[in-house]
Amino acid sequence: MASASWDHTVRIWSLGDGAQQVLEGHSQNVNGVAFTPDGRSLVSVGYDRELRIWSLVGGTPTVIMLASPLNAVAVAPDGEIVTGGADGKLRFLMSAGQQSTEVQAGRTPIVALAISSDGTSVAAAGMGGGVAVIDRKSRSVERTLVDPDPPVWSVAFLADNATLLTSGADGKIRRWNARTGDPIGSSLQATSRDPLAAYAGDHGAEVFRACVACHTLSENDAQRAGPTLAGLYGRRIASLPGYRFSDALKRMDIVWTPETVSKLFELGPNTYTPGTKMPEQRIGSAEDRKALTDFLARATSK
Ligand code: HEC
């Protein structure tokens, strides 16, 4: 088994005894790994824009620098490599790493990828909830399925090459007919829900849309990649029980208030809280920061 980690490493695990081999070289978060069909190599991609092909018997990896931070990778049965970027593009590379074509799959960052087992179709899920189904031979986007509750964090084809599964922040798995784009089953209407629906027209809630993929406003919602912001103001940094904060955050001495949250996004997490695993993002306008911190005061107080 292989794992990609935001600690910048790739690890290969023996399923027999749990022994691990650590592959180092990426300079930023590693977001995707995939074995090649011959089982001899592992491909990894990261925020550092690098695609690395590691031989499992050792030696120096092949490193290819691409034009966008990379979020996902998959390898087709014939060895072709496909990677999805933060620019919404899929990039196709030959098995040795030579680049061939690019396809614009959507407007939002691609966060998950899958290739059907017959190698004909690629599914690429975007941060905004659109899942593009691409014909691999013609490199054309055949259709885009729209998941009602973005983001979709993972996609997979069933062995019939026609049924696509998507799953995401809402904790549901949805089934789709990838050839027609139609949902299968009835879960679709039943679970569609915008966590910010109650705040329609609130400017601060619109600013918070940039956060909603990773943070909930209520302790009752299933945990996302970041800690819940319920009860944020007055809380010491990295003190929420049950969430695994980075060690860097645990050593800091900050109490969350409208002022400190505003500072966090004025300077950016990497500057205000160096070593954080929250991705770098800034809110340039003081007015937007004020709207956000006012919104958090209303939406996160218990
Ligand atoms: C892609 C995911 C992601 C996005 C988007 C994101 N965060 Fe975070 N955030 C995290 C993670 C992960 C942590 C924990 C960091 C750590 O432990 O190093 C975190 C930590 C925080 C903390 C510190 C919480 C605590 O209890 O100490 C605050 C405050 C915060 N985020 C606010 C926001 C706000 C406001 C936004 C939107 C403007 C936002 N985040 C966007 C992932 C994200």
Cα-Cα-Cα-Cα dihedral sign, residues 144, 146, 147, 152: positive
- Among positive and negative, which fits the CA dihedral 37, 39, 41, 46? positive
Read off the pLDDT band of 135 (50, 70, 90).
very high
Q: Tokens 């940039």 — which residue?
A: 210
Ligand 1 atom with least separation from CA of 239: 26
The pLDDT of residue 142 is: 94
User: Within 10 A of 190 (CB to CB), how many other CB atoms are there?
Assistant: 9
| Ligand 1 pocket mutation pick from 111, 196, 215 by most atoms within 8 angstroms of CB | 215
**Inter-residue contact 141 to 125 (CB < 8 Å):** no
User: Closest Cα to atom 34, ligand 1: which residue?
Assistant: 211
Which tens digit of pLDDT belongs to each residue from 38-61?
Answer: 999 999 999 999 999 999 988 899
Distance of CA 279 from the midpoint of ligand 1 (Å):
8
Among 23, 26, 10, 36, smallest CA distance to 94 is for 36
Mean pLDDT of the region 191-201:
73
Dihedral over Cα of 166, 169, 173, 176: its sign: negative
C-alpha of residue 126 to centroid of ligand 1, in Å: 20
Q: Which of 52, 181, 166 is nearest to 111 (CA)?
A: 166
- Using alpha carbons, list the distances in angstroms from residue 148 to 52, 130, 152, 190: 34, 9, 10, 11
Confidence of residue 193 (pLDDT cuts 50, 70, 90): low
How does pLDDT run across 211-246, given as a tens digit for each residue? 988 999 988 887 888 999 999 999 999 999 999 999
Half-sphere exposure of 116 (CA within 13 A, CB side): 20
pLDDT class of 187 with cuts at 50, 70, 90:
low
Sign of the CA dihedral with 259 first, then 281, 108, and 125 last? negative
Atom of ligand 1 nearest to the CA of 265: 38
For residue 101, how many C-alpha atoms fall within 13 Å in the half-sphere facing its CB? 10
Q: d(Cα 89, Cα 126) in Å, to the nearest integer?
A: 10
Q: Is the pLDDT of residue 19 over 70?
A: yes
Query: How many percent of the chain have pLDDT more than 90?
Result: 76
Q: What is the pLDDT of residue 191?
A: 44
Indicate if the pLDDT at residue 190 is higher than 50: no
pLDDT digits (tens, 9 = 90+) for 114-130: 999 999 999 999 988 88
Output the CA–CA distances (angstroms, integers) from residue 97 to 34, 84, 230, 266, in the order listed.
14, 15, 45, 39
CA of 22 to the centre of ligand 1 (A): 27
Compute the distance between CA of residue 44 and CA of residue 33 in angstroms, rounded to an integer: 4
Q: Could you tell me how many residues make up the chain?
A: 302
CA dist 126 and 113 (Å) reads 9
Question: What spacing in Å lies between the alpha carbon of 211 and ligand 1's midpoint?
Answer: 7
Distances (CA, A) of 77 to 115, 142, 298: 9, 21, 51
Indicate if the pLDDT at residue 95 is higher than 60. yes
Average pLDDT, the chain: 92
Distance (Å) from CA 111 to ligand 1 centroid: 18
Q: Whose CA is nearest to atom 35 of ligand 1?
A: 211
The upper half-sphere exposure of residue 266, i.e. CA atoms within 13 Å in the direction of its Cβ, equals 12
Rounded Cα distance, 27 and 46, in Å:
8
Tokens, residue 156: 């997979």
**Is residue 186 very low, low, confident or very high in pLDDT (cuts 50, 70, 90)?**
low
The pLDDT confidence band at residue 15, using thresholds 50, 70 and 90, is very high
Write out pLDDT tens, residues 257-276: 999 999 999 999 999 999 99
The set of protein residues with a Cβ atom below 6 angstroms from ligand 1 is: 210-211, 213-215, 225-227, 232, 235, 237-238, 240, 245-246, 249, 256, 261, 265, 276-279
